[in-house]
Structure 1
Amino acid sequence: MPERTETESRKLLRRLRDTLAEAGAGQERLDRITHLIADSMRTEVCSIYLFRDADTLELCATEGLNPEAVHKTRLRLGEGLVGRVARTGTPVNTGNAPQERGFRFMPETGEEVFSSFLGVPIQRLGESLGVLVVQSKEARQFSDDEVYGLEVVAMVLAEMTELGAFIGEGEALAAPHQHPVMFRGATGQEGAAEGNVWLHEPRVVVTNMVADDPKAEVERLRSAVERLRVSVDDMLSRAAATDKDQIEILQTYRMFAHSRGWMRRMEEDIGRGLSAEAAVEKEQSAARARLQQSADAYLRDRLHDLDDLSNRLLRILTGQGRETGAELPASPVLVARNIGPAELLDYGRSLKAIVLEEGSVGSHAAIVARALAIPLVIHAERITTEALNGDHILVDGDQGFVHLRPEESVANAFRDKIAMQAKAQERYASLRNLPAQARCGTTISLHMNAGLMADLPSLEGSGAEGVGLFRTELQFLIRNQVPKRGELAALYARVLDAAKGRRVAFRTLDIGSDKVLPYMKPQDEPNPAMGWRAIRLGLDKPGVMRMQLQALIRAANGRPLTVMFPFVAQLEEYTQARDHLMRALDTEGRLGHTLPSKIEVGAMLETPSLAFAPRKFFELADFVSIGGNDLKQFFFAADRENERVRRRYDTLNVSFLGLIEQIVRRCGETGTPLSFCGEDAGRPIEALCIAAMGLRTLSMRPASIGPVKHLLRRVDLGEARSVIDAAREAGAQSVRSAVMDWLTTQG
């Protein structure tokens, strides 16, 4: 690059920095900036458009157009050349603007027809904030150096906009991170909570965008990159010893960290006047734009790797982030793009709620959130960009809504909801020691789901009669290597100790699909929920299954043991898994270990095929537990991770209830104990209908036991069954409305 261009670039950035440092209101600063840019680039026009909402750009400052148009001229996203820049996130550079696709003449701005047009996006790490435009009468394309210079200025404007440097009149100049925002996500775990934001990975704020000493900045950058490379190499060395299947991901990190092109581009940015931090951020934004446009899905997936690495480098340069040792705020609500189970467990029960931009209803985070009884909202898009540490936040896990910096009227209504729930819980607590006996005299056995030692105290508090499902995979998910048999045996023994003689049904390892172990190579499956998972994986990896079964036997140490195998689709899978357990019992006996005093071996019925299994299956199984979540998604062919379809089908659909009825009948024919486990077991109306169809054991999260028991004790299951049958005979698609109407008549 010619020295003259470098000097001009640094000169422009210094003038921009000095202008931003001057006192004045936001509008005054913007006006000075447009004048400065037009003068420096020798153009008749410079204009700044900022978003006033997600779809509308507002002219916020101009040099060369009619000043009366400021805050009045607005463009829809994609409208005109300015809207095109905003929509695509890429520059438009033309010497004949009127002939460009999408050109729109705006007479209200008093503009003449300018031939030359250069527009660049004002964006920060993929978030579009507006468009910076220069225009001239002379018909010419702007040079690459001029385009680069305007992009750098736009990046500085984006950072300053985020920092609130341009607060003023006009909706587009409203103070950032101050107005109320509502996010519509999806329910990961029910419940409601009020608190203050704690960002798992706080946004790094770059305040020194421009630097006067390029050599010093290059030295800072090289030192920080070297520290980054050492940390990545250390992670890679540890993975090579204990975590071999993670090597591919870490090698991608290493490739980015050691990229000469990455380093060269950042050093060139510094040479043009940017600080080391600004150079990192500019290259991060540019790389994001390149990867997002790629047709290669693998390259697009590398965005997270690039962002993580760039953010690590920015934290080294600025000293910001979790490494500063900041303390959690009062009533912390964790906000993150995504989070692993081990990291989430580190926070423990101190969290009031969790909000994620990604995640799924069956993800690691959702499993831990349910275990800890913490409200969780997933798919709250862009909340990590909008939220700041300490922000007031309301989380409605029941509806999947999040209110950030809510207005007082919204907060008051939300507090009323929490108070009503608390009052209801007090009422449910009085039922703790009473049976879930319906008015007809039928008693339903209510059990709880668990997955952590921290769940077990809820056995006493909730009134649960036992643990209908203990998820054993959590202990595998939170480690970086396969846990040892002795560790598992000790854990399972503590679970049985805490249960104090109550029945605990241990579900063997249910991994695969969205529950991939950190040390297990992810399988490239087009539909992982129906792929290599649960019992299929266990039978193909008999060493892991045998180790877990031996740990369970040793944990029982003479006490009763209940084991159930997940995702069984046919008789042969159950008999093979049962044989593994029988052989493990023989081996443990020969080794001199005390065997369980009694053993129950069951299966989870989560696939429709098992409902049609040979009679021999129901004769062999000591019990069957319906896994409602999976069974419903496969019955309706509706992926429960897909928000477009997962709420489309009702549990109380007559077809699904017909399947439940068949399973009840088949278990009844062989005297096989049957239970229902899943989210629907913990919803009072659904629980009532499932019980009316003949289920006598339900397993749910501890907080649901009170509400379910409260309703069951007030109804006659025979009458409820009559209402269901009448709705079915009448041709209803779902019995929900009929049951709700009947409950209304019951008071």
Structure 2
Amino acid sequence: MVQTKDSDSRRLLQRLQGVMAEAGEGQARLDRITALVADSMGTEVCSVYLHRDAETLELCATKGLNAEAVHVTRMRVGEGLVGRVAKRAAPVNASDAPSSPGFRYMPETGEEIYSSFLGVPIQRLGETLGVLVVQSKDARSYTEDEVYALEVVAMVLAEMTELGAFVGEGEALRARHKSQVLFRGGTAQEGAAEGVVFLHNPRVVITNPVADDPQAELERLRAAVDVLRVSVDEMLEGARGDKEQVEVIEAYRMFANSRGWLRRMEEDIDLGLTAEAAVEKEQSTARARMGQVPDPYLRDRLADLDDLSNRLLRQLTGQATVSAEALPDGAVLVARNIGPAELLEYGRGLSAVILEEGSVGSHAAIVARAWAIPLVINCKGITTEALNNDVVLVDGDQGIVHLRPDDSVRNAFRDKLEMQAAALERYASIRDKPAETQCGSRIELQMNAGLMADLPSLSTSGAEGVGLFRTELQFLTRSNVPKRGELASLYKRVMDAAGGKEVTFRTLDIGSDKVLPYMKPTEEPNPAMGWRAIRVGLDKRGVMRMQLQALIRAAEGRPLTVMFPFIAQLEEFISAREALLLEMHREKSLNHVLPESLKIGAMLETPSMAFAPRRFFELADFISIGGNDLKQFFFAADRENERVRRRYDTLNVSFLSLIEQIVDRCAETNTPVSFCGEDAGRPIEAMCFAAMGLRKLSMRPASIGPVKHLLRRTDLDEARAVIDAARTSGAQSVRPAVMDWLKRRG
């Protein structure tokens, strides 16, 4: 029985290290470990259960239970006491296991004669790999020291599993990071790419978790923590004058100086772990807690602790943070999440981006669209499964990632890439031709942009102008508010690069998922419908005024086109419009050069504006239908929610009727109207919008070729007849009828 938390545990780990060093197959090594732990813990039983798949645990080794049950006994996560340990990622300590809630008797194991049960998760960085169990005939509750010692052993087993020490026959003993894995995530940016994994924060793999000299390990840990604290103090000093940023780093500093955090790691070293293993054990505990905590504030704090652990591990191992200069050819960036500034640092050398988290409206999605590279989000578990330089196939159209694919998958994927390349060649041949339909209608195709790097696409894509320039990216990628002169210089370069083609600047659209680093975030139950876009601009007049002045000055006598986002009622547009006209008056009084002409428009993103007073359409020089937001509000389906965002079809009869109503109302006042959003870049949807009367569409540059290709082969009068017939028939969506018509036309 374990009497202390130091000498006995250390001896156990040293014996464990000896077993690890012995030659032999994975199964034999596991068998020796269970016998060793049972002997050291003074128990009749020690068993190791490993994940066969995400939902199933398999008994892989045992000392004390029936040997015939090995690789036969399986249970679901959450089933029985072992399944409960795996589901909660927390120990279960029961003196009378058969009477404990959730107990499940497995007759083939012969465990009915054992009363006490102690199970701890075998986990690494928040990923539960299995469960380590000891059992005794005596009805006993295991002491804190015993629980702690078994957790340390479980941590070593996790590291050894990561290193492939237990590879053998069967799914549960398969080699990690070797076989192909399919991930199903969500589409945030379409496209396909083949490349190699480049981890944004590659994890440290600990090759020797057992310490030979605990005192030396303690000194290494303390020295590394001292360096970490100094670096955090330097971060804090650099943030002085920025109240919100200081508050964030102060919380960070509190963790770095936490005696409890350091004490727990020192105790782990006393038990026989190396400094790196002690840090990772605490990190795994924090990651496991993150998944159990519903409070977003507490989750953020645990994420701070996780980040500090990463920094400390890099300090201990001497591994520098990865840099953009290290990018291999065909790099596919893999990260849990990433901010716009970090993503922009990598430049355009990336082939694709894969995130464990993220959303379709996130900063990363905006940048990925600007670069026209595939982005797949919500790929759970990929950062723990992928290794640097692993081959990866990214299907942004389907939201699918193939990690380490076999030859048959790679060949099929390459066929898809070749077909896309052939299509691109066809689109290049019509780049300079107008999007004129067979019935003689001319559709103006413009591109969306948000970075200076986007502007070369203006000529290569065949776009006739920039229908949306997102100005918030310049605010999101900085740690402080940009100056007016900096903005004016940037907007001037954008207009210069456009070469006389129209650029429609959308004023600052922040809030919802786009929170400025230097702006205190506000907790809102539904941020997409909260304090955002024009609502922020009208409340923060100083920021809006500075941006409007920068736009006026950037024009340098050229035409200027400005539109205000997220207008929900007439009064908001009147106020925003008057603010811009007032700045024009002030610039004139200062004898500054005014734009040659000024167009002031609005984004129609809320259904309320389809029913706005006629005055709104008379005042607006143009209207841009913001399809992404309009669709989510029309169907009451959050576009960040993968469960609901794909349930509703853009070609739903009700939604097309709304588009038709907006087009008709704009026609009454001769107000130009366009459609801007993801759906404008989908050829079938774009054709239907044109059939409903829209004559201007704005989309990502890569979509212009496919959309133009279909429009030039379409008779919009015929398409409208098909749509109207489907509407009259009572169909919910016109898509089936339109697709059937297109197939019949070949």
- Per the normalisation by structure 2, the TM-score is 0.98
CA 1:484 to 1:677, structure 2 compared with 1: closer, same or farther past 3 Å? same
What secondary structure is seen at the aligned counterpart in 2 of 1:302?
Answer: helix
CA distance in 1, matches of 2:123, 2:476: 37
Q: Does the CA-based 8 Å contact 1:191-1:396 persist in structure 2?
A: yes
Shift of 1:575: 1.2
Q: Does 1:599 align with 2:592?
A: no
Matched length: 745
CA distance in 2, matches of 1:733, 1:323: 51
Aligned to 2:270: 271
Aligned to 1:47: 47
Q: Which amino acid aligns with 1:143?
A: T
1:433-490 C-alpha deviation (Å, 9 max, x unpaired): 1111111111111111111111111111111111111111111111111111111111
Q: Does 1:642 align with 2:676?
A: no
Q: Does 1:666 align with 2:665?
A: yes
Shift of 1:323: 5.3
Q: Does 1:237 align with 2:261?
A: no
1:626-683 C-alpha deviation (Å, 9 max, x unpaired): 1111111111111111111111111111111111111111111111111111111111
Q: Does 1:97 align with 2:94?
A: no
CA 1:697 to 1:323, structure 2 compared with 1: closer, same or farther past 3 Å? closer
Aligned to 1:582: 581
Aligned to 1:15: 15
What secondary structure is seen at the aligned counterpart in 2 of 1:240?
Answer: coil
CA 1:326 to 1:707, structure 2 compared with 1: closer, same or farther past 3 Å? closer
Shift of 1:426: 0.4
What secondary structure is seen at the aligned counterpart in 2 of 1:316?
Answer: helix
Aligned to 1:680: 679
Aligned to 1:533: 532
Aligned to 2:498: 499
| 1:336-735 equivalence runs, <5 A | 336-735=335-734
What secondary structure is seen at the aligned counterpart in 2 of 1:93?
Answer: strand
CA 1:356 to 1:347, structure 2 compared with 1: closer, same or farther past 3 Å? same
Q: Which amino acid aligns with 2:188?
A: G
Aligned to 2:32: 32
1:464-522 C-alpha deviation (Å, 9 max, x unpaired): 11111111111111111111111111111111111111111111111111011111111
Q: Which amino acid aligns with 1:140?
A: R
Q: Does the CA-based 8 Å contact 1:27-1:168 persist in structure 2?
A: yes
Identical positions, percent: 75
Q: Does the CA-based 8 Å contact 1:58-1:72 persist in structure 2?
A: yes
Aligned to 1:136: 136
Q: Does 1:190 align with 2:190?
A: yes
Aligned to 1:60: 60
CA distance in 1, matches of 2:686, 2:741: 15
| 1:309-324 equivalence runs, <5 A | 309-322=308-321
CA 1:4 to 1:473, structure 2 compared with 1: closer, same or farther past 3 Å? closer
Q: Which amino acid aligns with 2:190?
A: E
Q: Does 1:85 align with 2:85?
A: yes
CA distance in 2, matches of 1:83, 1:576: 60
Q: Does the CA-based 8 Å contact 1:105-1:113 persist in structure 2?
A: no
CA 1:222 to 1:3, structure 2 compared with 1: closer, same or farther past 3 Å? farther
CA 1:573 to 1:105, structure 2 compared with 1: closer, same or farther past 3 Å? closer
Shift of 1:558: 0.8
Shift of 1:212: 2.8
CA distance in 1, matches of 2:83, 2:371: 46
Shift of 1:324: 8.6
Structure 2, unaligned runs of 5 or more: none
CA distance in 2, matches of 1:260, 1:103: 38
CA distance in 2, matches of 1:181, 1:130: 19
1:171-230 C-alpha deviation (Å, 9 max, x unpaired): 111000111111111111110000000000111112221113222211111111111111
1:563-611 C-alpha deviation (Å, 9 max, x unpaired): 1111111111111111111111111122222111111111111111111
Q: Does the CA-based 8 Å contact 1:202-1:321 persist in structure 2?
A: no
CA 1:700 to 1:3, structure 2 compared with 1: closer, same or farther past 3 Å? same
What secondary structure is seen at the aligned counterpart in 2 of 1:566?
Answer: strand
Q: Does the CA-based 8 Å contact 1:684-1:711 persist in structure 2?
A: yes
| 1:279-290 equivalence runs, <5 A | 279-290=278-289
Shift of 1:81: 2.0
Q: Does 1:177 align with 2:164?
A: no
Shift of 1:730: 1.0
Q: Which amino acid aligns with 1:520?
A: M
What secondary structure is seen at the aligned counterpart in 2 of 1:355?
Answer: strand
What secondary structure is seen at the aligned counterpart in 1 of 2:566?
Answer: coil
Shift of 1:744: 1.4
CA distance in 1, matches of 2:294, 2:449: 43
CA distance in 1, matches of 2:507, 2:237: 32
CA distance in 1, matches of 2:179, 2:50: 16
CA distance in 2, matches of 1:356, 1:717: 40
CA distance in 2, matches of 1:425, 1:656: 31
Across the aligned residues of Structure 1 and Structure 2, the Cα RMSD in angstroms comes to: 1.6
CA distance in 1, matches of 2:689, 2:470: 23
CA distance in 2, matches of 1:71, 1:255: 47
| Higher alpha-carbon deviation: 559-568 or 2-11 | 2-11
CA distance in 1, matches of 2:504, 2:293: 48
CA distance in 2, matches of 1:351, 1:5: 49
Shift of 1:285: 2.6
CA distance in 2, matches of 1:479, 1:15: 53
1:128-167 C-alpha deviation (Å, 9 max, x unpaired): 1111111222232222211111111011001110111111
Shift of 1:289: 4.0
CA distance in 2, matches of 1:499, 1:330: 30
CA distance in 2, matches of 1:294, 1:575: 45
Aligned to 1:202: 202
| Higher alpha-carbon deviation: 127-136 or 150-159 | 127-136
Q: Does 1:6 align with 2:20?
A: no
Shift of 1:326: 7.9
Aligned to 2:166: 166
What secondary structure is seen at the aligned counterpart in 2 of 1:197?
Answer: strand
Shift of 1:54: 1.1
Q: Which amino acid aligns with 2:445?
A: L
Q: Does the CA-based 8 Å contact 2:324-2:346 persist in structure 1?
A: no
Structure 1, unaligned runs of 5 or more: none
Q: Does the CA-based 8 Å contact 2:200-2:334 persist in structure 1?
A: yes
What secondary structure is seen at the aligned counterpart in 2 of 1:592?
Answer: coil
Q: Does 1:247 align with 2:246?
A: yes
Q: Which amino acid aligns with 1:101?
A: P
CA distance in 1, matches of 2:411, 2:104: 47
1:404-459 C-alpha deviation (Å, 9 max, x unpaired): 11121111111111110110010011011111111111111111111111111111
1:282-303 C-alpha deviation (Å, 9 max, x unpaired): 2223344455444644223322
CA distance in 2, matches of 1:738, 1:38: 69
Shift of 1:97: 2.1
CA 1:294 to 1:568, structure 2 compared with 1: closer, same or farther past 3 Å? closer
What secondary structure is seen at the aligned counterpart in 1 of 2:139?
Answer: coil
CA 1:4 to 1:88, structure 2 compared with 1: closer, same or farther past 3 Å? closer
CA distance in 2, matches of 1:295, 1:629: 29
Q: Which amino acid aligns with 1:603?
A: A
CA 1:553 to 1:225, structure 2 compared with 1: closer, same or farther past 3 Å? same
Q: Does the CA-based 8 Å contact 1:204-1:321 persist in structure 2?
A: no
| Higher alpha-carbon deviation: 274-283 or 176-185 | 274-283
Q: Which amino acid aligns with 1:656?
A: F
Shift of 1:321: 4.8
Q: Which amino acid aligns with 1:154?
A: A
Q: Does the CA-based 8 Å contact 1:623-1:672 persist in structure 2?
A: yes
